[in-house]
Structure 1
């Protein structure tokens, strides 16, 4: 990739206000990822009753894949989001026929995706930035009514879709 293309990619990330993974504090992110893995092991244990020591190799593999993806995002000379690098590494590591892929799939199979996603989604739903508080303060009371209507409509829509789907498979 040319130097001009790298500059254009970095400029695009700045214009879109995207955090370029090449600027992150790797040690800090690795520590946060380790905390997320520990919480994931606990939530997997609670949800599936799989002993954390039995699920530890699978979680360690997910951690290693994530670290490799973060390293690629940081050191490859063109911008691609770290989630894309992590996904690419995971896909390549689990392709049938790749040495060790059967072991990786077996170990990660002891982890329940929903149990791992729930704490992350809960945090994402609760995390509010300074900018979001400012928007809420300046929007006034009308935004509360709109938000309640949107949440109610989304919930009711989900209920209807779930009910229709369950009726189809009875």
Structure 2
């Protein structure tokens, strides 16, 4: 699956077909996990994943075709925010269907995909040496603890008792 997209593809029929194929696989796995884990209706979750996939395709296309040096994640975020803004004609539809998809369902599939990608470049990772392993562990641990600290502060500020 990691061979479909290498990040450098131009917008061609073949490149778009590869993105669509990858997003369909990603969506099916996410919807199944979403149904099993959270019991959201499959049909509504598929519509939500379709919306997210279309936003992703638009963002990737914009990154490759517009003359600005901006990452696709920024385009994807802006598109998502704009179509979900209160007062936009798409807002209720988008919010309803996208809310049928739990973030953890998406993240689980995404991390599995990243793991597959890492497995394919394991030799390159090993060539970086033990320092890369230490840095990786520190980054992951720092991200986890930083998120936990921020969450704890927000919970305390909102009046949720600390455990």
TM-score (norm 1): 0.67
CA contact 2:63–2:71 (8 Å) conserved in 1: yes
Distance 1:148 1:89 in 2: 32
Distance 1:106 1:45 in 2: 16
Residue 105 of structure 1: how far off its partner (Å) = 0.5
Unaligned residue ranges in structure 2 (runs of 5+):
1-5
- Figure out how many residues of one structure are paired with residues of the other and give that number: 150
Aligned to 1:71: 61
Match of 2:46 among 56, 59, 74: 56
Distance 1:130 1:62 in 2: 27
Match of 1:96 among 74, 86, 111: 86
1:27–1:156 Cα change, 3 Å: closer
Unaligned residue ranges in structure 1 (runs of 5+):
1-17
Residue 122 of structure 1: how far off its partner (Å) = 2.6
Pair 1:169-2:162 in alignment: yes
Residue 74 of structure 1: how far off its partner (Å) = 2.5
Aligned to 1:116: 106
CA contact 1:94–1:104 (8 Å) conserved in 2: yes
CA contact 2:34–2:101 (8 Å) conserved in 1: yes
* Structure with bigger gyration radius: 1
Residue 79 of structure 1: how far off its partner (Å) = 2.7
Residue 62 of structure 1: how far off its partner (Å) = 1.2
Distance 2:64 2:137 in 1: 42
Tell me the C-alpha RMSD between the 2 structures.
3.7
1:157–1:74 Cα change, 3 Å: closer
